[in-house]
Structure formats: structure tokens, C-alpha cells
């Protein structure tokens, strides 16, 4: 198990404390940034962790920003990611047990001991194979697939519309040229 961890500037200090804790506990991790408390956009770092999960580089992700909300919203836009914004160890536990979350996010404003408890609980929890939870996860995956299929269809419609507009412009151009030729031939 390899953990990916990332933060924005507001989660940087807490991320650094968690990294020290991981080293002490011999938990393997990869830091996906940021590397300082300088103002930055959380999106850039959330995407790095999510892409690493989808590439098989890491098993789980931990995202920390001012509230945990922005990171969670961003992460959940990435196909294959189930990110839960958690505020307690209990929420971390059920995010994995009931929702099969592979990423958690939380506020950089919480105490280190709370963050440590949240992370430990998340990492030791596992997905429940109860039918009701699997059924719900499958519905979420269907929704994710539906939205990506719709985007592909919309892109095709845009491509077709652009082609139609281009053909229409060419037809208009041909008509104007023929009209000009007729007018010239009358002279």
C-alpha cells in the first residue's frame, strides 16, 4: 500500500506533520505537493493524486486544503475517484466501508491528532461487501459512465455541427462565385 498525499498552501503545515508521522510508522507515501505555504491552486495537486491512483502508482489519496471541500469537489470530477470530505475518524471509516472511497480530503485547520486519527482509521478500514453498498457503488459508477458518454456524444455533435457549418460556408461561397461568373458573362 502506497499513499499519495497533497495539499494546497493552507494544508501544507498539516501535510508536513503527517509525512513525518508516515515516516515514523513506516507507511510508504508519495508527496504530490505543494512544497511550501505560498499561495497556490488546490486543483493542481488534487489532480496529481487522482491521476496517480488511476495510473496504479498509489493505492489511496489524502488531500488537504483550507476546508477539504475544494479538493473533494475537484477529485470527484476525475473518473474512477471516490473522494469523501471527512471531519472525523467515524466518517473516514464509513467512507471506505460504505462508499469504497479511495481518497479522503479534510481541512488543514484541524489538529494534527485529529488528522492522524482520521488517516489511521481510513487506512485500516475496508469496503464492506454487503450487497446494498455494492449496489449503491455500482449506481455511482453508472452515473459516472453516463456523464462521460454524454460528453463524448456532445463532442461528436459539436464536431458534426462544425462540419455542417463548414460545408454550408463552402456552398455559399460556390453560389457567390457562380453568381459572379453569371454576371460577368452577361457583360
Q: Measured between alpha carbons, how far is residue 114 from residues 17, 92, 174 in Å?
A: 12, 11, 72
| Total residue count of the chain as it appears in this document | 187
Q: Given 9, 40, 74, 98, which residue is catalytic?
A: 98
In whole angstroms, give the CA distance from residue 27 to residue 23: 6
In whole angstroms, give the CA distance from residue 126 to residue 99: 10
- Residue 148 a catalytic site member: no
The DSSP call for residue 9 is T
Given CA atoms 151, 153, 155, 161 in this order, what sign does their dihedral have? negative
- Residue 65 a catalytic site member: yes
Tracing cell 508527496 back to the chain, one arrives at: 31
Q: Given 40, 50, 65, 74, which residue is catalytic?
A: 65
Long-range contacts, 167-172 (Cβ 8 Å, 24+)? none
Taking the CB of residue 151, how many other CB atoms lie within 10 A of it? 10
Q: Which residues are catalytic?
A: 65, 98
Amino acid at each position: 500500500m502506497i499513499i499519495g498525499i497533497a495539499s494546497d498552501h493552507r494544508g501544507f503545515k498539516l501535510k508536513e506533520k503527517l509525512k513525518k508521522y508516515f515516516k515514523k510508522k513506516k507507511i510508504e507515501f508519495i508527496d504530490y505537493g505543494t512544497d511550501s505555504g505560498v499561495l497556490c491552486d488546490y486543483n493542481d495537486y488534487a489532480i496529481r493524486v487522482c491521476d496517480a491512483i488511476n495510473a496504479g502508482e498509489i493505492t489511496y489519496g489524502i488531500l488537504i486544503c483550507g476546508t477539504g471541500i475544494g479538493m473533494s469537489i475537484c477529485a470527484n470530477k476525475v473518473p474512477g475517484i471516490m473522494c469523501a470530505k471527512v471531519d472525523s475518524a467515524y466518517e473516514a471509516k464509513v467512507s471506505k466501508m460504505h462508499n469504497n472511497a479511495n481518497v479522503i480530503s479534510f481541512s488543514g485547520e484541524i489538529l494534527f491528532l485529529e488528522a492522524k486519527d482520521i488517516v489511521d482509521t481510513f487506512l485500516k478500514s475496508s469496503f464492506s461487501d454487503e450487497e446494498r453498498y455494492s449496489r449503491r457503488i455500482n449506481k455511482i459508477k453508472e452515473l459516472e459512465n453516463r456523464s462521460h458518454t454524454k460528453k463524448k456524444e456532445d463532442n461528436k455533435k459539436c464536431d458534426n455541427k462544425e462540419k455542417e457549418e463548414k460545408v454550408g460556408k463552402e456552398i455559399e461561397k460556390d453560389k457567390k462565385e457562380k453568381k459572379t461568373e453569371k454576371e460577368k458573362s452577361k457583360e
